[in-house]
Amino acid sequence: MELRTLKYFIALVREGNITNAAKALHVTQPTLSRQLATLEQELGVQLYTRGHKTISLTEQGNVLYRYAESIVGLAEKCEEEISLPEHTMAGAVHIGVGETKLVAMLAQAMERTRREYPNIMFELSAGNSADLMDGLNKGHYDFLLECEVRPHVNLNVLKLPIKDQWGLIVRRDSPLAKLDAVGPAEFVTTPIIMSQQGVGSARMKDWLGDCYDDLVVSATYNLPHVGKFLVREGLGAMMTYGGLFDEKRSDDLRFVPLSPMIESTQGVVWRKVTPSKPAQAFLAELQRLCDETR
């Protein structure tokens, strides 16, 4: 398989049909069709079927698309890195970030880095840590801001010096909004909107104790900014980190911390390979910032 052919296949999937893909690639339709037919012959499988106005991927086509995106993405990242002159400090730093107020600390380090090296740029991808970890391991990201950071045998870890505190985002007309803190007994008085990885976690069970059996989960979320809309519509209270929303400016939502307190330590992790020069510059600034904050 040639990289060019994989790029053609990716364009076909993204554009939805041969006509649009050929226009996007600036090639003729017969040329594109020939290349894709050759790819299918090489693999010995049918990758897609043509509909009236769009194509549909077969099961094998979906598998190839997933790998093709990774292969082409890594190739482009490699070309970008090695094409820079030896002493040039420029290029992109790729970071996967979980949703936490500590993104602000990364932003400070980014600003300091760009102040020193204005030709460095940053590409951020948001998601939960479990989903982003796969991208880090495959080399798509230089760094990952991992929520609930843990030791990793094959990764470097920099713990950040500020912790996140757990609590509930509730509507201001909820009885829980009148409390200074929410304990296990109050926690189970309303349906809970919870992160997918938090459901059934040992930490949650320990905190709730005897109240765990009374817990009602009305919905789960991947990213908390989606969950706040569920809170507004009355689906329940959302368990999340404090500092993600500006509740002081919100007329309808309030953050109430948990008691006993639950805190989370976050950290930046990266592979045990020599980072690119722009990534090294960012890491140095982040480490300095952490030292200043401690």
Beta bridge partner(s), residue 238: 169, 193
The pLDDT of 94-102, averaged and rounded, is 93
For residues 121 and 95, the answer to whether their CB atoms sit within 8 Å is no
The pLDDT of 42-70, averaged and rounded, is 89
CB atoms near residue 18 (< 10 Å)? 19
Residue 200: pLDDT above 90?
no
Nearest to 244 by CA among 228, 264, 230: 228
pLDDT score at 82 = 75
Residue 111: pLDDT above 90?
yes
pLDDT score at 292 = 95
Question: How many angstroms separate the CA atoms of 283 and 291, rounded?
Answer: 12
CB atoms near residue 74 (< 10 Å)? 13
pLDDT score at 246 = 76
Tens of pLDDT, residues 9-48? 999 999 999 999 999 999 999 999 999 999 999 999 999 9
Least confident of 68-72, 226-230, 275-279: 68-72
Question: How many angstroms separate the CA atoms of 232 and 24, rounded?
Answer: 41
pLDDT score at 267 = 96
Enter the pTM of the model.
0.74
CB atoms near residue 67 (< 10 Å)? 11
Question: Could you tell me the sign of the dihedral formed by the alpha carbons of 291, 95, 139, 194, in that order?
Answer: positive
Tens of pLDDT, residues 252-261? 899 999 999 9
Helix (H, G, I), strand (E, B) or coil at 261: coil
Beta bridge partner(s), residue 121: 92
